[in-house]
Amino acid sequence: MRKAIVKCKLKNRDEFEKKLADIDLDFSTVYWQHDRIYVPRNYKPHANFPRLIMRTEMHAVDKPAKYSFILKRHIEDSGIDIVEETVIKDYEIMVNVILQLGFKPIAEVSRRRQDLKMGEGNFIYLDKVEKKSGYFAKIESEITATDSIQEAKEDLKKTFETLGENNFVESTYFELN
């Protein structure tokens, strides 16, 4: 699936959430995600290499964790993100497959996340990333092969600006200092 993604570091999480609540949009309850990120052994940043992610997600302590295998590829010259996610049953077996394919672990990212669905294929995520100051919001929008990625990203930025946010972040969470 092709996505346009825009991320922003929030000035004030509570104000951001209130602005959305004022237009009858409410975030889900908080859940926890932990990503282990793997890259090819010859990985170079900004070179269109795929990243593989093993995600653990927990919505409640009394329920089993959900495990997902995610393929992410950011195509630099077009700005498009290609994302494919598959739920898996055996985390350890999948990690062994990733390692045998020649990928190496590069980072781990834990976050507390809330989500908000805004129509078909559009989501806002509110993230508190471990070891990073402040809160982040991310808007993801599914796009078709004929959609303009630049127009889609500009629309997402306008959405943030309408909500009073403009501190856009281009880096992934694991690349942030």
Average pLDDT score over residue span 145-169: 92
pLDDT digits (tens, 9 = 90+) for 11-43: 999 999 999 999 999 999 999 999 999 999 988
Domains along the chain? 2-175 (2.40.320.10)
Please say whether the dihedral angle defined by the alpha carbons of residues 17, 18, 19 and 20, taken in this order, is positive or negative.
positive
Predicted local confidence at residue 55, as pLDDT: 97
Indicate if the pLDDT at residue 80 is higher than 80.
no
Q: How many CB atoms lie within 10 A of CB 30?
A: 11
Indicate if the pLDDT at residue 45 is higher than 80.
no
pTM score: 0.88
SS3 69: strand
Predicted local confidence at residue 1, as pLDDT: 77
Q: If phi over 0 gives left and psi between -120 and 50 gives alpha, with beta otherwise, what is residue 79? A: left
Q: Where are the beta strands (DSSP E) in 12-121?
A: 31-40, 51-58, 66-75, 80-88, 103-117
Distance CA 165, CA 169 (A): 11
Phi, psi of 111 (to 5 degrees): -150, 155
Indicate if the pLDDT at residue 69 is higher than 80.
yes
Distance CA 176, CA 11 (A): 17
Distance CA 11, CA 34 (A): 24
Structure tokens at 176: 């942030």
